[in-house]
Amino acid sequence: MRKVDSLQVGRAIAVLSIVIYHLTALSIEYQHGYFFAPWMEALRSGVDVFFVISGVVMALTTYRKFDQPGTGSRFLIHRISRIYPPYLLLSAILMIFWLLNPRAINQKNGGPDLLASFTLWPSIKRLPLVQVGWSLSFEMMFYLVFFFFIIYVRKERLPRTLLLWSLIVIAGASLIAFKPTSVVFQSFPRAGFFLNVYVLEFAAGCFIGLAYLKRNLAGGWACICLAAGIFITEAVVFQVLSFDGNNKGMLRVLLFGPPAVLLIYGLVASEQSRISYGAPRWLIRCGDVSYSIYLVHLLVIHAAYRYTWRVFAHAGMLPLFLIFAGGISILFSLLFYSMIEKPLSSWTRERIERLVNGPARVAVAT
Give the pLDDT mean for 38-62. Answer: 96
Choose the weakest-confidence range: 65-74, 141-150, 230-239, 328-337.
Answer: 65-74
pLDDT at 5: 86
pLDDT at 35: 92
For the chain, which residues make up each domain, given as ranges? 1-36+280-366
From 56, 8, 82, select the one nearest 277 (Cα to Cα). 8
The DSSP code for 197 is T
pLDDT tens column, 130-168: 999 999 999 999 999 999 999 999 999 999 999 999 999
Distances, alpha carbon 90 to alpha carbons 93, 131, 258, 295, 296, in Å: 5, 11, 33, 8, 8
Find all residues with CB under 8 Å of 226, minimum gap 6, and list them: 259, 262, 266
pLDDT at 268: 93
- Neighbour tally for 137: CB within 10 Å: 17
- Distance between CA atoms of residues 234 and 236, nearest Å: 5
pLDDT at 175: 80
pLDDT at 182: 55
Tell me: pLDDT of 8 over 80.
yes
pLDDT tens column, 211-234: 999 887 888 999 999 999 999 999
pLDDT at 366: 38
**Integer-rounded Cα radius of gyration of the chain:** 21
Give the pLDDT mean for 292-301. Answer: 96
Region for residue 126 given its phi and psi (left: phi exceeds 0; alpha: psi -120 to 50; beta: otherwise): beta
pLDDT tens column, 163-190: 999 999 999 888 877 765 555 555 566 7
State pTM to two decimals.
0.93
pLDDT tens column, 229-265: 999 999 999 999 988 766 667 889 999 999 999 999 9
- Distance between CA atoms of residues 34 and 27, nearest Å: 6
pLDDT at 27: 92
